[in-house]
Amino acid sequence: MRIPPSILTLLAGMALVLFGLWVGQNVNLLPVDASANAPVYDELFRVLFSIGSILFIGIVGLILYSLVRFRRRAGESGDGAAIEGNLPLEILWTAIPAVVVLFVGIYSYDIYDRMGGMTPLNDHSMHGMQHSEERTWGGISPVALKADGAIAPLPVDVTAMQFAFIFHYPDSDITSGELHVPVGQPIALQMKAIDVIHAFWVPQFRLKQDVIPGQPTLLSFTPTRAGQYPIVCAELCGPYHGGMRSTVIVEEPESFAAWVAKNSPNPPAESHTVVQS
Amino acid sequence: MTLSLNPSESLQPQGWLRYLSFSTDHKVIGLQYIVCGFLFYLIGGALAGAIRTELVTPLSDFLPRETYNEVLTLHGTVMIFLWIVPVVNGGFGNYLIPFYVGARDMAFPRLNAVAFWLIPPAGILLISSYFITGAAQSGWTAYPPLSITTPATGQIIWILSVLLLGGSSIFGGINFIATILKLRRPGLGLMQLPMYCWAMLGTSILVVLSTPVLAGTLVLLSFDIIAHTGFFNPALGGNAVVYQHLFWFYSHPAVYIMVLPAFGLVSEILPVHARKPLFGYTTMVYSIMAIVFLGLIVWAHHMFTSGTPPWMRLFFTIATAFIAVPTGIKFFNWLATLWGGKISLNTAMLFCCGFIVNFVFGGITGVALAQVPFDIHVHDTYFVVGHFHYIVYGGTVFVIFASIYHWYPKVTGRMLNEPLGQLHFWLTFVGFNLCFAPQHWLGLNGMPRRVAEYDPQFTLINQFSSAGALLMAISTFPFLINVVMSAFNGAPAGDNPWNALTPEWLTSSPPPVENWHGEPPLVHEPYGYGVAPGQLSLEASSGRDLWNLGQGDQR
C-alpha cells in the first residue's frame, strides 16, 4: 500500500522535532555548573540547542533531498516548474520564525530576570554593600539572589590590571591573587580596572562582565559547587592577555573560615562578621 | 542608435595593461577589485595560518606575544576591509550592476576608479606598518584604552588605512545608489531588476549611513593618540564605552555590508542552475530592506557585557533576534527555488548550497548570541569566533567562490575546469567545518578569543581546528591552478553557457567596452525560467503579464 506523501512529511517532521528535543536534552556541551545561575543558563541553552538542532537538521535535510530528488538527470534538458512564488507559503514562513523568535526573546528575558540581570543596580536601599555614591555599572545585582536565603552577600573588591586580577576582602582586609569563596553565600564583586578594559569570566559560573576603566562595576553570584575553577580575562588587554588567568576556589564555609582566619592581618575582629554562616 | 566607441579611439590602455591603469571601464574596475582583493585574501590567509600554527600548542611558542596581537589585528582588518567588503561590493557590484540596469557604465566612472585606487595604497600602508614599526596590536576593533596605550605608530597607520578604505567604500556606495536609481534603461522598472541590484541598493544605503560614523570615530581616536585629547580615554575623563557604541554603529552594519551582496549573488546563481524562477521576488526585496533597517538598530548586542543598562540589553536582544525573520524568508525562498527545479550540481551550485548550510548554522548561533543571558557566557570567546566565521567565511566567501565559478565564463570567455572546481569545493567545505565547528565547543568550555596561550585541556580540539585551517589553505591550490590554467586552456564558453536570462549573458563573452554592440536589451523578466521559448516577449508591458503568459502555457 502506498503511503500518501503528506503523511510521510508529517512523520518526518515529528521525528525531526523529537530528535531535536533529544539532542537538546542529552548532548551536553557545557562545563560543570558551579553557581546558582548556571542551571538557569543551562535551561536556556538546552531550549536554544533543541530549536537550533530542529531548524538546522530540517534545512540541511531539505537541501539534500532537493539536490537528489530534483537533480538534472543525464540527457535531461529543459527547465523546472515556472513557480514565481506563493504568498500564503511566504506568509507562513515569515510568521513561524517571528513567533519562534518572539518566544525565545521573552523566554530569555525571563531567564535573565531570574539571574538578577534586570534589577536596578543603583538603588542603594536594596543592597547595603555599596561603598560610595558613585554610579555602579552593568553586571548582575545580588538583589534577586538575596531572596534565596537570608545570607548577606560577601563583598570582594576586584582590581583588574595588566595582567592580573587582585582580590581584596574589605571585611577581613585580605588581599589575594586567587578568589576564595564559600559555597552557598552570595558574593558581590566590586570591580574596577586601572589600565585597559578587562573582562572577568568564570565559565563554570556562566558569568562574564567587562571591567572598564572609569566604570566601577558590580557582579554578583552564588557559588553552589565546591571546587577550583578558572578565572579568565576575556577582553584583549595586551600581549599577555592569554596568560591573564586566576583561580576561584569554592570551598565549604568551614574551610573558607579557616582560610580567612589564617590569612587575615587582623583575625579576631573581622573574621566573625564574614563567617556568620 | 549605438553609442559604442571604436576601440582604437579609446584613450584607455589596451590588453592586460588596462588592469594596472586608471581605467574607467566598470568591468576593468570590477576585476581590479576582485584580483586585488584576492591577493589580500592570500595575505590574510597566511596570517590566519600563523594564528592557527600558534594555537597548535597551548603555549605561546611560535610568535612573540606582541607579534601575535599584530597578526590577529592584521588578519581581521585585511580580511574584512581589503578582501570581503571590496570584492563582494566593489568587485561584483561594478562588474554586474551596469549590465543589470542596462547601462554602459557606472554613474560616476572616474569616482569609481578613484574608489578602487584608494585600496592598494591603503592595503600596502597597512601591511607595511608591520615591517616599519610593528602593526596595531589592539584587534580590528581597536578598543580604547588599549588602542591608546599600545605603540602609537602602528595604530595611527591602521587608522589612516581604515579611513582610506572607508572613503573608498563610501564613494562606491554613492555610485551604486546613483547607478541603480538613475541609470536604469528606459522602460526598466525597479521591481524588474535582478535581485543583486536590490541587495546592492540596500548595502549602499548602509555604507553611506554608517561608514562616516566609523570615520569620525577613528579621527577622534587618532586625536586621543597623537594629541592626547580625552574623548575615549578614562584617565583624561573620557568614556571608553562611547567608542564601542560608535564603532559598532558601523561595524555591525558592516556584517550586512558583507552578507547582503552575497545574498544578492546567490539569488542570481541559484535560479540559473536550478532552472527555476527566483521564488518570492517581492518578499525578497522587502526582506532586504527590513534587514537594512534592523541592521542599523542592533549594534549594542556586541556590548552586553560592557555595562549597558538593562533596558538597552532588552531592546537590542529583541531587535537582533528579529533580523532572523527577514533573513529566514530569504533562506526559505532559496529552498523553494531549488524545490522542483532541474538542478545542475556544478561547482557554483555546490558553493551556493555550502553557503546555505553554513549560514543557517551561523544564523542559529547568531539568534542564540542575541539573547543576553546566553551572550554573557560566550561573549568574547571562541564561540563568537566560530559564529562570525560561519557568517563571513561560510557565508560570504563561499558565495564569492560560487560567483567566480558562475561568472568566469562571462569574464574570460572560457569555462573553468569542473573536476578541479569540485575538488576545491569539497576541500574548502570539509576544511572550513573542521576548522570552525569545534571552536563553538571551545568557547562554551572556557577558551577566550584573541589569546596566544590557553588551558592545555583544549589542545586536541585546537589541533583539529588547525588541521581544518591547513585543509583550507590546501584548497586554495586547485582554485589557483584552475583559474590560471583555464584562462589559457579552458573550453570556449560561448556567450551564454548556462542559458541564463539575466542581461549580462545577452552580450558577448568577454563583453565589449560599453557592454553591448547596439542598444542594451530590455529584460523585464530576469528569472523567467520554465517559460516556453517564444513566450518570453520583450513587448509585454510588465513582468507580471509576461509571467502569466508563460504560466498559462505550462498548464
Please give the DSSP secondary-structure letter assigned to residue B278: P
Q: Looking at residue B180, what DSSP letter applies?
A: H
Q: How far are the Cα atoms of B216, B527, B545, B546 from residue A80, in angstroms, in the given order?
A: 51, 12, 20, 17
Q: Identify the CATH number of the domain in which residue B515 sits.
A: 1.20.210.10
Residues of A in contact with B550 (CB under 8 A): 82
Angle, vertex CA B436, rays to CA B434 and CA B441, nearest 5: 100
Closest residue, chain B, to A44 (C-alpha)? B374
Contact A93 B531 (CB under 8 A): no
Grid coordinates representing A36? 546558582
- Closest residue in B to A27 (Cα) is B441
Contact A97 B361 (CB under 8 A): no
What DSSP designation does A137 have? B
Residue B325: enclosing H or E segment and its boundaries? helix B324-338
Q: Across the interface, which of B374, B444, B448 has its CB nearest the CB of A108?
A: B374
Distance from C-alpha of B238 to C-alpha of B229, rounded to nearest angstrom: 9
CA distances to A223, B247, B457 from A205, rounded to whole Å, are 8, 30, 18
Q: Is residue B324 a contact partner of residue B293, using CB atoms and an 8 Å limit?
A: no
Q: Which three cell numbers stand for residue B130?
A: 608591520
B548 inside 8 A of chain A by CB: no
Residues B183, B176: Cα–Cα separation, whole Å: 10
Residue B140: CA atoms inside 13 Å, Cβ hemisphere, count? 20
Task: Supply the mean pLDDT for chain A.
Answer: 84
Neighbours of B358 (CB within 10 A): 24
Q: Which residues of A fall within a CB distance of 8 Å from B310?
A: 117-120
Contact with chain A for residue B274, Cβ under 8 A: yes
Query: Using CB atoms, which residue from A51, A56, A85 is nearest to B279?
Result: A85
The rounded distance, in Å, linking the Cα atoms of B32 and B187 is 31
Residue B50 CB coordination number (10 Å)? 18
Q: How far is B351 from chain A (nearest CA, A)?
A: 13
Chain A residues closer than 8 Å to B68 by CB: 239
Q: What is the DSSP-derived secondary structure letter of residue B82?
A: I
Number of structural domains found in chain B = 1
**To the nearest whole angstrom, how far is the Cα of A93 from the nearest Cα of chain B?**
6
- Shortest CA distance from A240: residue in chain B: B65
Rounded to the nearest angstrom, the gap between the alpha carbon of residue A143 and the centroid of all alpha carbons in its chain is 18
The rounded distance, in Å, linking the Cα atoms of A6 and B15 is 60
Number of continuous H segments (helices) and E segments (strands) in chain A: 6, 10
Check CB contact of B286 with chain A, cutoff 8 Å: no
Shortest alpha-carbon distance between residue B150 and chain A (Å): 8
Residues whose CB falls within 8 Å of the CB of residue A1, separated by 6 or more in sequence, listed in order: none
B328·A117 Cβ contact <8 A: no
CA B168 – CA B125 distance, rounded (Å):
15
Rounded distance between C-alpha atoms, residue B438 and residue B441, angstroms: 5
pLDDT at B542: 42
State the Cα angle at B411 between B407 and B417, rounded to 5°: 60
User: Cis link prior to B261 (omega < 30° from 0)?
Assistant: no
Collect all residues of chain A within an 8 Å Cβ-Cβ radius of residue B371: 44, 48, 104-105, 108, 111-112
A196 contact residues in B (CB cutoff 8 A)? 145-146, 149
Residue B102 contacts residue B521 (beta carbons within 8 Å): yes
Is the CB of A203 less than 8 angstroms away from the CB of B318? no
Chain A CB contacts of B377 under 8 Å are 41, 203, 206-208
Average pLDDT, 10 consecutive residues per value, chain B (555 residues): 54 77 92 96 96 95 94 96 95 96 94 96 95 92 93 94 96 96 92 95 96 96 94 91 94 95 96 93 95 93 85 87 93 92 93 96 94 92 96 95 96 94 97 96 95 94 96 96 94 91 91 88 87 53 44 40
Grid cell, residue B235, equals: 584617565
Q: Give the three-state DSSP class for B72.
A: helix
Q: What residue has cell string 526598466? A: B188
Q: Is B171 near chain A, with CB under 8 Å? A: no
Give every CB contact of residue A61 below 8 A, 6+ residues apart in sequence. Answer: A12, A16
Check the CA dihedral B290-B293-B299-B301 and report its sign: negative
Residue type, A235: E
- Reported as a single tens digit per residue, the pLDDT across A187-198 is 999 999 999 999
Altogether, the residues listed in chain A come to a count of: 277
Asked whether A155 and A173 are in contact (CB, 8 A), the reply is no
- Please tell me if residue B405 touches chain A, with a CB cutoff of 8 Å: no
In this predicted structure, the answer to whether residue A135 has a pLDDT above a threshold of 60 is no
- Give residue for cell 536604469: B184
User: What pLDDT, on the 0 to 100 scale, is given for residue A80?
Assistant: 82
Cis, peptide link before residue B510, omega less than 30° from 0: yes
CB B82 within 8 A of CB B126: yes
Pick A66 or B542 by higher pLDDT: A66
Model pLDDT, residue A275 = 45
Test the A interface: residue of B192, B377, B441 with most A CBs within 10 Å = B377
- Determine the residue type at B227: A
| Strands A217-221 vs A207-211: parallel, antiparallel or unpaired | unpaired
Which neighbouring-strand residues pair with A246?
Answer: A231
Give a yes or no: residue B541 inside a domain: no
Q: Does B301 touch chain A (CB under 8 A)?
A: no
B342·A45 Cβ contact <8 A: no
Nearest-CA distance A133 → chain B (Å): 17
- Cβ neighbours of B449 in A, within 8 Å: 234, 236
Per DSSP, the three-state class of B235 is helix
Residue A132 has pLDDT above 60, yes or no: no
pLDDT at A58 over 80: yes
Q: Which three cell numbers stand for residue B308?
A: 549597558
Range of the domain at B472: 25-523
From residue A262, alpha-carbon distances to A178, A265, A266, A268, B384 in Å are: 15, 9, 10, 11, 42
Rounded Cα distance between B300 and B310, Å, is 12
Determine the Cα angle at A187 with ends A184 and A192, to 5°. 160
Q: pLDDT at position A255, please?
A: 94
Q: Which of A63, A104, A243 sits opposite B367 (nearest CB)?
A: A104
| Residue A150 in grid coordinates | 537570608
In chain A, which residues have their Cβ closer than 8 Å to the Cβ of B276? 79-83
pLDDT reported for residue A129: 43
Of A29, A72, A90, the CB nearest to B444: A29
Stretch A162-189: mean pLDDT: 92
Residue B535 belongs to a domain: no
With beta carbons under 8 A apart, name residues in chain A contacting B450.
236, 241-242
Distance CA B197, CA B201 (A): 6
Whole-angstrom distance, CA of residue B517 vs CA of residue B509: 12
Strands, sheet with A179-182, edge to edge from the N-terminal-most edge strand: A179-182, A245-251, A227-233, A198-202, A207-211
Looking up cell 517571528 gives A98
The DSSP call for residue A200 is: E
Residue B40 maps to a domain = yes
CA B96, distance to chain mean position in Å, is: 15
Helix, strand, coil tally for chain A in percent (to 5) = 40, 25, 35
Q: Rounded to whole angstroms, what are the CA distances from B477 to A29, B405, B491, B494?
A: 35, 15, 20, 27
Q: In Å, how far is A1's CA from the nearest CA of chain B?
A: 25
Q: How far is CA B178 from the centre of its chain?
A: 21
Asked if the Cβ–Cβ distance from B373 to A137 is below 8 Å, we say no
A109: pLDDT strictly greater than 90: no
Whether B550 and A82 lie within 8 Å, measured CB to CB: yes
- Please report the residues numbered 194 through 213 in chain B whose beta carbons come closer than 8 angstroms to any beta carbon of chain A: none
The 8 Å CB, 24+ separation contacts for B39-45 are: B40/B78, B40/B82, B40/B83, B40/B123, B41/B79, B41/B83, B41/B87, B42/B476, B43/B78, B43/B127, B44/B74, B44/B75, B44/B78, B44/B79, B44/B82, B44/B83, B45/B472, B45/B473, B45/B476
Question: A143-274 domain in CATH 2.60.40.420?
Answer: yes
**Interchain CB distance below 8 Å, B529 and A79:** yes
Whether residue B548 is contained in a domain is answered as: no
Ramachandran bin of B277, using left for φ above 0, alpha for ψ from -120 to 50, beta for the remaining angles? beta
Closest CA to B290 of B322, B326, B254, B262: B326
Burial (CB < 10 A; 0-12, 13-18, 19+), residue B221, is buried
Contact B371 A104 (CB under 8 A): yes
The pLDDT of residue B19 is 87
Question: Do residue A79 and residue B367 have CB atoms under 8 angstroms apart?
Answer: no
User: Among the residues of chain A, which ranges form H helices?
Assistant: 5-26, 38-69, 87-115, 143-146, 253-263, 267-274
Which residues numbered 465-524 in B keep a CB inside 8 Å of some CB on A? none
DSSP-derived secondary structure letter, B343: B
Confidence label for A149 from pLDDT (cuts 50, 70 and 90): low
Q: Which of A46, A55, A83 to mutate to test the interface with B (most CBs of B within 10 A)?
A: A83
Interchain CB distance below 8 Å, A212 and B306: yes
ipTM: 0.89
